Amino acid sequence: MNRYTPVTEIKGVGEKTAKLFQKLNINNVGDLLAHYPRDYEIYEEPVSIAEAKIGEVCAVYARVLGIPNQKKIRNLVILNVNVRDDSGAMQLTFFNMPFLKKVLMPGGYYLFRGLVQSRGATMIMEQPKLFSLEEYQKQTNRLRPRYALTKGLTNQAVQKAMKQALTFYAFDKEYYPPEIMQKYGLLPYKEALHATHFPVTYEEMLTARKRLVFDEFFGFLLLLRKNKDMTVQMENGYPMFETADTVRFVEQIPFSLTKAQKKVWQEIRDDMGSAGCMNRLIQGDVGSGKTIIAILALLMCAANGYQGALMAPTEVLAVQHYESIMEYTRKFHLIFKPVLLVGSMTAKEKREVYEKIATGEANLIIGTHALIQDKVKYQALALVVTDEQHRFGVRQRETLVEKGENPHVLVMSATPIPRTLAIILYGDLHISVIDELPANRLPIKNCVVNTSYRDKAYEFIAKEVAQGRQAYVICPQVEEGELEDVENVVEYTEKLRAALPASIQIAYLHGKLRPADKNKIMEEFAAHNIDVLVSTTVIEVGINVPNSTVMMVENAERFGLAQLHQLRGRVGRGEHQSYCIFISSKENKETMERLQILNKSNDGFFIASEDLKLRGPGDMFGIRQSGEFAFRVGDIYTDATILQQAAEAVEQLLVEDSGLEKSENEGIRRQLQQLSVWQEELGRTL
Ligand code: ADP
Ligand code: MG
C-alpha cells in the first residue's frame, strides 16, 4: 500500500464505508493516515457515585435498581434506569436502545461511563457507555484515539481501518539525515505515525506529535525559502504618487483615521512611491480597521492608472468587500471600476468579468481564489492585496503576484503573532501594526457561563433584537453526529426558534451550504432581514455587520482562545454596546480558567500569550487555534519552540547545501516535491 492506494483496498472497508470516508475528505490511504485523532480518551479508574463530578466524564460501577422504565415520545425510545452504589444514586437515560431493557437486569452490577450532569438535585448520565467490570479494567489507563467522524461512521471503524493501513503501508525510507534526527530529538516517521494513532503512553504520543509538527513546519519553511530569495528587493515597476482622490476620500469617510491607521497608510504611500516594490504585512487586531487601509492603497493604485486586486479567503467575505466598496464608490464618486469574481458565478458571468479584467475596463478586482485561475489575465496588475492572509497558502499569494509583473504586495492579518515568529513565518515581508481600535468603540462586555444560563441568554438576545440589534449564535458542528455531546447548527436553530418569540427572524449558516446560498444568507443578515444568525465558525473571519451586538458561543470549551477572540471580533464593530456570551458545557477548573482570560481582556495579543502559558503541548489535536496558519497538527503558539527549531534546521540545511544536491539530503529533496502538493492543500478554505 502507498499513499495513493484507494481506501477500498483496506480489509473491511467496502463501498459504503469508503463513501463515508469520502465525506471526511479521505480518499486514499495517505489521507487516512493523515486523519490524526482529534484527541485521546483515557478510560480512567472508576469512581464512586459520591465522587463523580458534574460536568466531567466519569466511570461508575453501580447496581441497577428495579426494572428500567421505557417510554416512547414520537420516534424516540427513552429508557430510564436508576442505579446506585454504596455512596449514592444516579439516573441513567438511554435513547433508542430498547434492547438494553433486557440486558440491564435488576440487581445486576455494570460499569457506566459518561458525562455526569444534574437535573435538579438528581445526578444523571445520558447515553453512557456500558461495560462489564473485566472489560473495562482491560482498557483502563490506555490512550484511545478519538477521530473526527461523520454520521454512520464509528470511531471503532476508523480505528480498525487505521490499524490495517499502518500494517500494510510501505513506508519510504526515513528522509531526514541522521544529524537532524538526533539534534532535534525526532522519532522516525514510521514510529511517529504509529504512536500518533495508537500511543501507549501520553509521553510517547507527545514525542510522536513533535515529529509530525516538526515535519510540517520544516516543509513549510523550506518551501517558503525555495520559492523566493528573500534578500533581493524587487525594483518598483509601478511607481505611484498620491493624488487628490485619496486625500478627498479620507476627508469624506464618516470617521477620521486612527493614529495607527494614519501611520500605516503613510508607510504604504512611502513604499509604493519608493524605488523598491512594496512587500508589506499589516497586522491589526479584529476590528482595528484594516479594510479602509486596503481600500486607500487600491484607490491610489487606480488613480495612477493601474489595476489592483483584493483577494479574500471566503466568498462571503469577498462579496462583503465588494458591496462596501461599491457603496463607497457610488456615494463618494470614487474612480473605482470594480468587478467581483467568485467561484459560484455562472460561466457567462465569469467570461464577462475576465473580459473586463483583460481589457483594463475594470481597475479593481475583488474575489476569492477565482482571481488566480489560469483564465484570468490582468491588463496591468500593480497591487495585490490579500485579506486574512493566514487563510491562504503562501503559494496562492505567490500565484496572484505572478499574475502581474512584480506588483506591490499588501497582506492583512488579524492573527496576533509575536514579532519573532512573524519574522520566521513572513520572512519576506515588512511588518506594520495597527495597534489601536477606533475611538468610538465601547469595550465588549463578556461573560463565561454554564448551560443553565441559556434561557437568560435567550431573553437577553430577544431584548437586544427588540431594540433593533442583531445577534450571532455559534455552534461547533453542522449537524448531529460528528462529535458527541456538542451542539449543532441545524438542530440548534430549531431549538432557538421554539425558544425565541416568533417575530424574531432566525436563519442558519454553515460551510456545507452552497456558496451562493451562503452569500445570500449573509446578505440577508447584513440587510437586517435576519435578526439572529446561527452559524459554525464560517463567520469567523472578516465579517462586518456593525449592527450586531450579541455573540453567543455554545461549547466554547471546544475552541481555541484565539479563535474565540476572532468570533468575538464580529461584534463591537459599531457604536452600540456589544456583548459576548461564552457558554461552556464543561465546568472543570482548567476550562474555566482558560475562558476567564477572554473575560478579562479584549486584547488579541494578550490573549494569545496567556493562552500559550496555559496550554501545555498536551491539547494537541483537539483544540486548534485555527484561524491562523492552516497547519494540520502544528500550532504556531504552542509549538513556537518547534517552529524555531525547524527554522534553524532549514537555515542550516540551505547554508550547507542550497541546491539540496548532497546525497544525504536526497530524502529531503524527494519530500519537497511531495510537499508542493501538500502546499496547495494548505490553501483549502472553508
Ligand atoms: P478589520 O481590521 O477587522 O478588518 P474592518 O476594517 O472591517 O476591521 O473595520 C471594522 C469597522 O470599523 C468597519 O465598519 C469600519 O468601517 C470601521 N472603521 C474603520 N476605521 C475606523 C475609524 N478610524 N473610526 C471608526 N470606525 C472605523
Ligand atoms: Mg477584516
The set of residues, in sequence order, having a beta carbon less than 8 Å from that of 543 and lying 6+ positions away, is 316, 317, 320, 522, 570
Residue nearest to atom 26 of ligand 1 (CA): 438
pLDDT at 269 over 80: yes
Through-space distance between the first and last CA atoms of the chain, rounded to whole angstroms: 31
> Which of 395, 477, 392 lies closest to 24 in space, CA to CA?
477
| Beta strand 408-413 pairing with 381-386 | parallel
Q: How far apart are CA 11 and CA 548, in angstroms?
A: 52
The CB of 500 under 6 Å from ligand 1? The reply is no
pLDDT at 679 over 70: no
Atom of ligand 1 nearest to the CA of 569: 3
pLDDT at 313 over 60: yes
Q: What is the CA radius of gyration of the chain?
A: 27
**Best probe residue, ligand 1, of 285, 292, 314, 328 (max atoms within 8 Å of C-beta):** 292
Q: Tell me what pLDDT residue 222 has.
A: 86
The closest ligand to the CA of 317 turns out to be: 2
Please give the average per-residue pLDDT across 304-329, as a whole number: 93
Q: How far apart are CA 616 and CA 618, in angstroms?
A: 5
Q: Note the pLDDT tens digit of each residue in 456-515.
A: 999 999 999 999 999 999 998 887 666 667 788 989 999 999 999 999 999 999 888 888
Residue nearest to atom 5 of ligand 1 (CA): 289
Q: Are 282 and 414 in contact (CB under 8 A)?
A: no
Q: Sign (positive/negative) of CA torsion 149, 151, 156, 160?
A: negative
The closest ligand to the CA of 292 turns out to be: 1
> Which of 43, 73, 70 lies closest to 57 in space, CA to CA?
43
Q: Note the pLDDT tens digit of each residue in 385-443.
A: 999 776 666 667 777 878 888 899 999 988 767 777 777 877 778 889 898 989 888 88
The CB of 30 under 6 Å from ligand 1? The reply is no
Residue nearest to atom 10 of ligand 1 (CA): 287
Q: Note the pLDDT tens digit of each residue in 79-117.
A: 999 999 999 999 999 998 888 988 999 999 999 999 999
CA distances from 77 to 93, 146, 152, 484 (A): 10, 27, 19, 19
Look at 394 and 286; give whichever has higher pLDDT. Answer: 286
pLDDT at 300 over 70: yes
Q: Sign (positive/negative) of CA torsion 598, 493, 482, 4?
A: negative
Grid cell locating 209: 506529535
Q: Tell me what pLDDT residue 613 has.
A: 66
**Best probe residue, ligand 1, of 540, 573, 578, 602 (max atoms within 8 Å of C-beta):** 573
pLDDT at 236 over 60: yes
pLDDT at 561 over 90: no
Centre of ligand 1 from the C-alpha of residue 158, in Å: 45
Q: How far apart are CA 488 and CA 490, in angstroms?
A: 6
Centre of ligand 1 from the C-alpha of residue 389, in Å: 18
Q: How far apart are CA 208 and CA 220, in angstroms?
A: 19
Atom of ligand 1 nearest to the CA of 284: 2
- Residue 642 backbone dihedrals phi, psi, to 5 degrees: -65, -40
Atom of ligand 1 nearest to the CA of 291: 6
Q: Are 570 and 472 in contact (CB under 8 A)?
A: yes
Centre of ligand 2 from the C-alpha of residue 291, in Å: 6
The CB of 546 under 6 Å from ligand 1? The reply is yes
How far is Cα of residue 593 from the mean position of the Cα atoms in its chain?
22
The CB of 573 under 6 Å from ligand 1? The reply is yes
Residue type, 373: Q
pLDDT at 671 over 70: yes
Question: Burial letters for 274-295: b for 16+ Cβ neighbours within 10 Å, e otherwise?
Answer: eeebbbbbbbbbbbbbbbbbbb
Strand order in the sheet with 445-450: 445-450, 579-584, 548-553, 470-474, 532-535, 506-509
β partners of residue 449: 583
Query: In percent, how much of the chain has pLDDT > 70?
Result: 92
Grid cell locating 450: 454554564
The set of residues, in sequence order, having a beta carbon less than 8 Å from that of 527 and lying 6+ positions away, is none
DSSP classification of residue 467: T
At residue 680 the predicted structure's pLDDT band, cuts being 50, 70 and 90, is: low
Q: Note the pLDDT tens digit of each residue in 620-656.
A: 443 344 334 557 788 777 788 899 999 999 989 998 9
Q: Tell me what pLDDT residue 114 has.
A: 93
Q: Tell me what pLDDT residue 311 has.
A: 93
β partners of residue 310: 366, 385
Q: Tell me what pLDDT residue 622 has.
A: 38
Grid cell locating 332: 463618494
Centre of ligand 2 from the C-alpha of residue 544, in Å: 8
The CB of 292 under 6 Å from ligand 1? The reply is yes
pLDDT at 141 over 90: no
Centre of ligand 2 from the C-alpha of residue 452, in Å: 34
pLDDT at 73 over 80: yes
The CB of 284 under 6 Å from ligand 1? The reply is yes
Question: Burial letters for 213-234: b for 16+ Cβ neighbours within 10 Å, e otherwise?
Answer: bbbbbbbbbbbbbbeeeeeeee
> Which of 472, 491, 471 lies closest to 480 in space, CA to CA?
491
Q: Are 384 and 408 in contact (CB under 8 A)?
A: yes
Centre of ligand 1 from the C-alpha of residue 272, in Å: 23
The CB of 261 under 6 Å from ligand 1? The reply is yes
Query: In percent, how much of the chain has pLDDT > 90?
Result: 55
Q: Are 209 and 632 in contact (CB under 8 A)?
A: no
Centre of ligand 1 from the C-alpha of residue 160, in Å: 51
Q: Note the pLDDT tens digit of each residue in 186-224.
A: 999 999 999 999 998 888 999 999 999 999 889 888 887
The set of residues, in sequence order, having a beta carbon less than 8 Å from that of 391 and lying 6+ positions away, is 313, 314, 541, 630, 685
Q: Sign (positive/negative) of CA torsion 654, 660, 665, 667?
A: positive
The CB of 604 under 6 Å from ligand 1? The reply is no
Secondary structure (3-state) at 76: strand
Q: How far apart are CA 521 and CA 512, in angstroms?
A: 13
Instruction: Compute the mean pLDDT over every residue in the chain, rounded to the nearest whole number.
Output: 88
CA distances from 373 to 221, 345, 359 (A): 25, 14, 17
Please give the average per-residue pLDDT across 38-67, as a whole number: 91
Long-range contacts of 1-6, Cβ-Cβ distance < 8 Å, separation of 24 or more = 1/29, 1/165, 1/168, 1/169, 1/170, 2/29, 2/30, 2/169, 2/170, 3/28, 3/29, 3/30, 3/33, 4/28, 4/29, 4/30, 5/29
Q: Tell me what pLDDT residue 116 has.
A: 93
Grid cell locating 674: 511531495
